[in-house]
Amino acid sequence: MEIQQLLGYLGALLIGLVLGLIGGGGSILTVPILVYLLYINPVTATAYSLFVVGVSALVGAIKNIQKGLVDFRTAIVFAIPAFIAVYITRKFIVPAIPEELFSVGSFIITKDIAIMLFFALVMLLASISMIRSNRKDSGEETEVKYNYPLIIIEGFVVGILTGIVGAGGGFLIIPALVLLAKLPMKKAVATSLLIIAIKSLIGFIGDVENLDIDWLFLLSFTGLSIIGIFIGMYLSNFIEGKKLKKGFGWFVLVMGVYIIYKELTK
């Protein structure tokens, strides 16, 4: 148990390290680390993940605001439906899911198993996005155009997804900002961090009223993640983040397959 806990806290450092190195993706590791290394049940783990993701994204967002890379208008248009959806999902939908959903023969699909399987599916989608990522930023400033109905719908969908699995959803937000708001890639990445921070932290508020939060553990875990971010940002001066992104994508793919195997063979 001692070694498992140590590995769990090292995992917190790894989450930040990946975020600092490649600018995203690390948060997808939070739930598996909390569930499989620290034995926290999936509902609480997704809640804790929202806090870790929100605070980590906020650190990155502040850094990007200082560089003038955040498009606040786009962030607000996208974040409002997203945080409403996250809050509703965490406050009402997740607690309303029955403990036992259905059974296949003698195998019972419980709420916890369903959440982890859905999370594994999100991991697989995120990994494919990272492996196939070959986007190039022209760096040119283009006129920002808004497709309001689609941005609002996308924000709401991403919000529900974030609420269920506790992941940031950057792999869905960034393409949406590029395609629907015509943001340059650098601005889209920077703006997505602010959106992720807002919706994750507001979603977590929905959990504070429903769950007993171990604040000492959560703050220490998040603190290690933030230390990891600064180490990652320092190392990014010497290591090309884009080269690491594809390798990390394959790692997330293997993790997603492992979670499906582990949950279905309990």
Q: Which residues contact 264 (CB under 8 A, 6 or more apart)?
A: 107, 117
Strands (E) in 58-210, as ranges, are: 100-104, 107-110
Question: Tokens 């807002």 correspond to what residue?
Answer: 198
Question: Which has more confidence, 51 or 189?
Answer: 51
Q: Distance of alpha carbon 179 from its chain centroid, rounded?
A: 21
Taking Cα atoms as reference points, which of 42, 6, 28 lies closest to residue 221? 6
d(CA 94, CA 207): 10
Res 226 pLDDT > 60: yes
What is the model's pLDDT at position 185? 80
Name the band, by pLDDT with cuts 50, 70 and 90, for residue 255: very high
**Least confident span in 12-21, 110-119, 167-176, 196-205:** 167-176
Taking Cα atoms as reference points, which of 48, 99, 79 lies closest to residue 194? 79
Strands 100-104 vs 107-110: parallel, antiparallel or unpaired: antiparallel
Its pTM stands at: 0.83
What is the model's pLDDT at position 234? 86
Q: Three-state SS for 100?
A: strand
Res 12 pLDDT > 90: yes
Res 142 pLDDT > 60: no
Amino acid letter, 87: Y
Name the band, by pLDDT with cuts 50, 70 and 90, for residue 10: very high
Residues in the chain: 266
Name the band, by pLDDT with cuts 50, 70 and 90, for residue 52: very high
What is the model's pLDDT at position 96? 93
Q: What is the mean pLDDT of residues 185-201?
A: 88
d(CA 204, CA 58): 14
Domain ranges of the chain: 2-264
Question: Which has more confidence, 13 or 147?
Answer: 13
Res 122 pLDDT > 60: yes
**Least confident span in 52-56, 146-150, 206-210, 211-215:** 146-150
Question: Tokens 């962030």 correspond to what residue?
Answer: 75
* Residue 182 φ/ψ region, left for φ over 0, alpha for ψ in the -120 to 50 degree band, beta for the rest: left
Q: Which residues contact 197 (CB under 8 A, 6 or more apart)?
A: 54, 55, 57, 58, 61
CB 113 within 8 A of CB 266: yes
Res 188 pLDDT > 60: yes
Give 101-138 as a DSSP string: EEEETTEEEEHHHHHHHHHHHHHHHHHHHHHH------
